[in-house]
A and B are shown apart, each in its own frame.
Chain A
Amino acid sequence: MFYGLLFQQYAKRQLSSELSRAQVENLHSQLNQFRTALVRFASTHRESIRSDPSFRHAFQQMCSSIGVDPLAGPRKGGWWAELLGLGDWQYELGVQIVDVCVSTRERNGGLIEMSELVRLVSKLRGVGEGGITEDDVVRSIKTLQPLGAGYEVVEIDGCQMVRSVVKALDEDQTVILSIAREQGGRVIEDHLIQRKRWTRDRARAALENMLLRDGMCWLDAQDEKSGRAEIVYRKCD
């Protein structure tokens, strides 16, 4: 009787551990299946993912919907990234973005239109339009974040721009940039006074700061009407 009970308990435990082992095994095999499927997917579509922007976008959307970050993982770059080479691709794109931002900084004061950036990066890569998308650029800029270089996507009056200077745009500068957009790049003090009801001092100070301190705009002293206009940047199409 006593032995019998012990045996019974033993048998129960045995059974439960067998059950959970079976579950674990089942899970393992499921995981293996999933992994094989992913590996197969990754190896079959590796080229498409790297070369076709719309496919890459769909792939990234799929990843984010199932909670998988194609770049994250325990190892360097994660095994996803290793399988796809997407990590390297993304970093490589990041380097090219930095290249374009730095080399155009003296022309645009560290603020470049997204479309222009995409165009120049595509040119650098030697691929035609559509080779990379704004989406890819945004993603790559995120991978640059740990470097603390201050790369950021900002929206000015509905136009996406990439800022590569650590300086934050203050509110007045954002207003000036959006007026510049409307006016084809040209801003004069009077615009700011009439349209935004700024005082002349405020308008002048904001423009002077952009001109002298930040080097974000060029002065045009031969403007027909005002004799002085600040040309901020090219129109964002």
Chain B
Amino acid sequence: MSLSTHTTISGFLLPSIHSAPPFFTEQPNPTTQSIATEQWIRLILSYARHRKLFVLRVEDAETTDGDWEEILRNDRINRKVLPGHLSNFMKVMVERNLAGYEPPRQMRSVLVYWRLPEEWAEVLYDWVVSSGQLSTILTFYDITDPPIESPLTNIPIPLLRKAIAILGKTGRSQLIAIADGEGVRFLPRSK
């Protein structure tokens, strides 16, 4: 077994453990399994960050040509992560607040927090301040699809809501009902 790193088509550097066949099997020894899970979670988060992926579904382990194929399969050694295995990683990630089930009350799809909601809140606030939109009423669409691409482009609405709620706790955001739904206004940091 010669293990080596590998760079995928999308330019992501896979760690050498990804070329070890047993990495794709759930380990019966709990200690070994927790090590493997640790490695998988790290891999999922860094790949999500690399490709700016937000949603991970159990189905991603069943389909080919999915967003996650580069890490969930390794055709060079003919191994893949099975759906049940993937759903275990998702469960552990949710337990550690590295992901959240979305929609809630199901276990087949998660939002991956490659930035924690608290971090997204700061990224959001920084963007609002630096683009001079303090005190302006913005729609969610203004944030998720701004004319100039921002770090928040394509952020899923549930995650955006979390970030807005976190800023709300320190009085930096305010949800406002507007004609066609909801808007948000960001306020200067109170002294």
Interface residues in A66-92 (C-beta closer than 8 Å to B): none
Write the residues of chain A forming the contact surface with B, with a CB cutoff of 8 angstroms: 106-107, 184-186, 211-212, 215, 218-224, 229, 231, 234-235
Interface string of B16-32 (1 = CB under 8 A from A): 00001111111111011
Residues of B within 8 A of A220 (CB): 21-22, 24-25, 79
Report the nearest B residue to A234, measured CB to CB.
B1
Interface residues in B1-56 (C-beta closer than 8 Å to A): 1-3, 20-29, 31-32, 35-36
- In the assembled complex, the Cα of A52 lies from the Cα of B58 at a distance in Å of 56
Contact A185 B1 (CB under 8 A): yes
Residues of A within 8 A of B25 (CB): 218-222
- In the assembled complex, the Cα of A215 lies from the Cα of B29 at a distance in Å of 6
- In the assembled complex, the Cα of A163 lies from the Cα of B112 at a distance in Å of 39
- In the assembled complex, the Cα of A215 lies from the Cα of B26 at a distance in Å of 13
Residues of B within 8 A of A218 (CB): 20, 22-23, 25, 27, 32, 36
- In the assembled complex, the Cα of A219 lies from the Cα of B31 at a distance in Å of 13
Smallest distance from the beta carbon of A101 to chain B beta carbons, Å? 16
Contact A231 B20 (CB under 8 A): yes
16 contacts between A and B (CB under 8 A): A106-B35, A184-B1, A184-B2, A185-B1, A211-B29, A212-B28, A218-B36, A219-B25, A220-B22, A220-B24, A221-B26, A222-B79, A231-B20, A231-B22, A235-B1, A235-B2
Report the nearest B residue to A180, measured CB to CB.
B1
Smallest distance from the beta carbon of B83 to chain A beta carbons, Å? 14
What is the size category of the interface that chain B forms with chain A? 20 to 34
Contact B29 A212 (CB under 8 A): yes
- In the assembled complex, the Cα of A184 lies from the Cα of B22 at a distance in Å of 13
Report the nearest B residue to A224, measured CB to CB.
B78
- In the assembled complex, the Cα of A158 lies from the Cα of B40 at a distance in Å of 34
Contact B29 A222 (CB under 8 A): no
Write the residues of chain B forming the contact surface with A, with a CB cutoff of 8 angstroms: 1-3, 20-29, 31-32, 35-36, 78-80
- In the assembled complex, the Cα of A146 lies from the Cα of B101 at a distance in Å of 53
Contact B21 A222 (CB under 8 A): yes
Contact B35 A219 (CB under 8 A): no
- In the assembled complex, the Cα of A184 lies from the Cα of B31 at a distance in Å of 24
- In the assembled complex, the Cα of A235 lies from the Cα of B23 at a distance in Å of 17
Report the nearest A residue to B25, measured CB to CB.
A221
Smallest distance from the beta carbon of A109 to chain B beta carbons, Å? 8
Smallest distance from the beta carbon of A160 to chain B beta carbons, Å? 19
- List 14 extra interface pairs beyond A211-B28, A219-B27, CB under 8 A: A106-B35, A107-B35, A184-B1, A211-B29, A215-B29, A218-B22, A218-B36, A220-B79, A222-B21, A222-B24, A222-B78, A222-B79, A231-B1, A234-B3
Give the top 6 A-B pairs by smallest Cβ distance, nearest first: A218-B22, A220-B22, A185-B1, A221-B25, A220-B21, A231-B22
- In the assembled complex, the Cα of A220 lies from the Cα of B27 at a distance in Å of 8
Report the nearest A residue to B17, measured CB to CB.
A107
Smallest distance from the beta carbon of B94 to chain A beta carbons, Å? 24
- In the assembled complex, the Cα of A222 lies from the Cα of B35 at a distance in Å of 19
Smallest distance from the beta carbon of A120 to chain B beta carbons, Å? 14
- CB < 8 Å: which of A219, A222, A235 contacts B28? A219
Residues of B within 8 A of A229 (CB): 21-22
Report the nearest B residue to A231, measured CB to CB.
B22
- In the assembled complex, the Cα of A184 lies from the Cα of B80 at a distance in Å of 21
Known contacts A211-B28, A218-B25: does B1 contact A186 (CB below 8 Å)? yes
Contact B31 A215 (CB under 8 A): yes
Smallest distance from the beta carbon of B99 to chain A beta carbons, Å? 24
